[in-house]
Amino acid sequence: MKGLSSLERIILECVGKGSLSFQEIQTQTGIYENICFNLIQALIIRGLLKNEGVKYKISSSLSPLVLEEINGHEAKIAESLEMIEAVIEQTSCRVFRFQKIALDPKDEKIFLAMLSNFESFLSDAHKKSQASVPLKERKIIFWGMGEVQNLMHKIVTGR
């Protein structure tokens, strides 16, 4: 079994611990009807979703190996890259900033403190709104920092 695409993952995230009808999944995710249907069928074939009448539910018998494959480090990297690429290629309704910045040690500590506050804000905002905001209307936000020398070494060596 391979990892999950972002579309497959969003369907599983949508279903969560409950059970939803096809229409509820399609409405929550905003995925085109025919694509949504095909993805659900593929998830059923892979044993990740099961059909209970007119509702779909995440299979309760997933092995730790399967869970690691779909939620492990490599799967998270693949999903992040897929989402970041989609954000960068988006031509409308996009706010994206990327730049190299010179930071002295003091400013770097201030920046890291601001990131901590930002992460706390995002966590609180998500908890407050996750029940009322459909998956298709949620935002993808990414941030971070890396040292140019280390990033260039990674590009050169592939590690």
Domain residue extents for the chain: 1-92, 97-157
- Per residue in 24-80, pLDDT (tens digit) is 999 999 999 999 999 999 999 988 999 999 999 999 888 888 888 888 888 888 888
109-122 as b/e: b if 16+ CB within 10 A: eeeeeeeeeeeeee
Q: What single-letter DSSP state applies at residue 92?
A: S
The residues near 138 (Cβ < 8 Å, ≥ 6 apart) are none
What is the Cα–Cα distance from 50 to 59, expressed in whole angstroms?
6
pLDDT of residue 142: 84
Average pLDDT over residues 7-30: 92
Looking at residue 90, its pLDDT comes to: 80
- pTM of the entire structure? 0.73
Q: Would you tell me how many other CB atoms lie within 10 Å of the CB of residue 103?
A: 13
Residues 83 and 101: their CA atoms lie apart, in Å, by 24
Q: Which residues contact 13 (CB under 8 A, 6 or more apart)?
A: 135
User: Is residue 159's pLDDT more than 70?
Assistant: no
SS3 78: helix
80-107 pLDDT, tens digit each: 888 888 888 887 777 777 888 999 999 9
Q: What is the pLDDT of residue 38?
A: 96
Say what the pLDDT of residue 151 is.
Answer: 80
pLDDT digits (tens, 9 = 90+) for 117-151: 999 999 999 999 998 999 899 988 888 888 888 88
Position 21 scores a pLDDT of 96
Between CA 133 and CA 28 the distance in angstroms is 9
CB 29 within 8 A of CB 136: yes
CATH number of 1-92: 1.10.10.10
Q: How many whole angstroms separate alpha carbon 144 and alpha carbon 112? A: 9
What pLDDT shows up at residue 34? 95
